[in-house]
Amino acid sequence: MSKAKTLEELQKLINAAEKDGTIEARWETVAAVDPELVQQLTHSDFDSNSVDLAVVAEGTPASPGAASGILCLSTDAVLATDERGEKTILVCSETTPADEIGMRLAEGIITARGGVSSHAAVVARGWGIPAVVGVSSLEIGEEHVNFGDVKISEGEAVSLDGTSGEIFFGFNEVTISKEIPEVKKLLDWADEIRGERIGVLANADTEKDLITALMFGAEGVGLCRTEHMFLGNQLPLIQEFLNTQDGSSENILDALEATQRSDFVELFKVAGSLPVTVRLLDAPFHEFMDVSHPDSEHNPMLGTRGVRLALLRHELYRMQARSITKAVSDLVEEGGEPSVSIMIPLVVDRKELGIIRSWVEEEITETAKTYNLKNLPQIGTMIETPRAALSAAEIAKEADFFSFGTNDLTQMVFGFSRDDIEKEVMDKYLELGVLSHNPFKVLDEAAVAPLIAAATRAARISQPGIEVGVCGEHGGDPVSIALLVKAGVDYVSCSPFRIPVARLATAQALIAQDKN
């Protein structure tokens, strides 16, 4: 039987289950609804009274929902337009972390390049911002763009539908979907089934993300990225730090530590006593540098990122460990009960994690002594390189928890760079039936999922009680969630806007598992 795909079908199922009144009927209803219906019912759409705008182009739908605003060709333009109180749409060739300030303010994002796993797409989904990427007819000029024959100048209005991939010329009113009672009921029932068996956490970098995530029912933060804390106003600081040698950079680190501490305080405050896992810096070195820098890397995805940068410049992670511990202390002082963990990214080896762990622990212990802090942050690691997954039993000995970074793991298991493969090759794979899904959207059942299952088993044998979660994009995809539940993970963490889908999909996976 195909699953309920419309609000009407959902309403019927809910009514029948309520009439029946049994637990079994509620379970059946939870099992019978397409998770993407929940997603559709929690997104923005063009107002039903709005005019029909002309479609000027189509691209890859990358983040659902409708958006309308002034076309801006740069973060600066977004900032200036936003300051005038106008809605903005960021249009560019592709985005990098340096654009995130602009992306965060924009109503929607359109890029000429990239696929569903490009930076623009991933960030947009994370923030619930509608986005269309890979618009091949889009040519970007100095002060205008062309969608094929249609020229739109900076300052004119543009609209997009991130669900269909369509781009429109002109402005349309957008409505935010209200919370629909049937959806609320369905998700409450799903949570009832889920109970404490598997957690649904959010990937949330800021208090704004987390507020959205909590509204959608997240039980904490499975992944707080910290890259944005090194960008914007902080970028000159980190650039200066990377250009100086050890010893002469204390002032820079103090400045970074102070701002990060207050950023963390804001986030931890919103989280209350819910768990928050903070990932230490995982940006490729080159993202902080001028692209024309002579040290720019050939394959930055396989370069000086994450823990590798920390091995070269250990003060970075030490500074982050201090700022996190101080933020925790600040909250405790105010009577809070923060539950914070620190996560080391891109590890390949037990010894590597051991060394970094000892550095981080040193800072935590030292800081905790000064602030008289009792409950110290736990320290875990992301499992995102094949070597980490293959060495899980060893690495588990140095980790309080594991979190699978399924994006990078997929990237390395396949040898696919998301930015490059999704342009043309992925379409060919799907067209020829070599792959039944894009493995960046739906977890690869043949190799990546078994690797996660085997690593989870090995870790639990080596270190009973170790907590194992997933914080890649797949944590918000229903088919992937079914595989992850089967692999035995303790929680999934996903974009705030995918939380409702994840709540439903984990419950469905548990129902399916219990039947077998």
Closer residue to its own copies, CB minimum distance, 34 or 352: 352
Distance of alpha carbon 44 from alpha carbon 48, whole angstroms: 11
Question: How far apart are CB 455 and its own copies at their closest, in Å?
Answer: 11
Question: How far apart are CB 359 and its own copies at their closest, in Å?
Answer: 11
Q: Are the C-beta atoms of 475 and 481 separated by less than 8 Å? A: yes
Write the DSSP symbol of residue 498. Answer: G
Q: Are the C-beta atoms of 60 and 193 separated by less than 8 Å? A: no
Question: How far apart are CB 406 and its own copies at their closest, in Å?
Answer: 14
Question: How far apart are CB 390 and its own copies at their closest, in Å?
Answer: 4
Q: Indicate the burial class of 220 (C-beta count within 10 angstroms; 0-12, 13-18, 19 or more).
A: buried
Tokens for 476? 């918000």
Nearby residues of 420 by Cβ (< 8 Å), 6 or more positions away: none
Closer residue to its own copies, CB minimum distance, 215 or 312: 312
Q: Indicate the burial class of 495 (C-beta count within 10 angstroms; 0-12, 13-18, 19 or more).
A: buried
Q: Does residue 119 carry a catalytic annotation?
A: yes
Q: Give the angle subtended at the CA of 306 by the CAs of 301 and 309, to the nearest 5°.
A: 100
Distance of alpha carbon 183 from alpha carbon 499, whole angstroms: 13
Q: Does residue 471 carry a catalytic annotation?
A: yes
Binding residues (CB under 8 A) for its own copies: these are: 295, 297-304, 308, 311-312, 346, 348-349, 351-352, 355, 384-387, 390-391, 394, 408, 411-417, 419-421, 423-425, 428-429, 432-435, 444, 446-448, 450-451
Question: How far apart are CB 298 and its own copies at their closest, in Å?
Answer: 4
Tokens for 32? 């019978």
CA neighbor of 59 nearest in space, from 166, 169, 168, 163:
166
List 72, 119, 224, 494, catalytic entry: 119
Q: Are the C-beta atoms of 449 and 483 separated by less than 8 Å? A: yes
| Residues counted in the chain | 516
Q: Give 291-328 as a DSSP string.
A: TT-TT--SSGGGSS-HHHHHHH-THHHHHHHHHHHHHH
Residue with tokens 């300030």: 101
Question: How far apart are CB 427 and its own copies at their closest, in Å?
Answer: 9
Nearby residues of 443 by Cβ (< 8 Å), 6 or more positions away: 406, 410, 449, 452, 474, 477, 479, 480, 483, 484
List 72, 92, 224, 471, catalytic entry: 471
Question: How far apart are CB 456 and its own copies at their closest, in Å?
Answer: 16
Give the bridge partners for 138, in sequence order: 147
Cite the active site residues.
119, 471
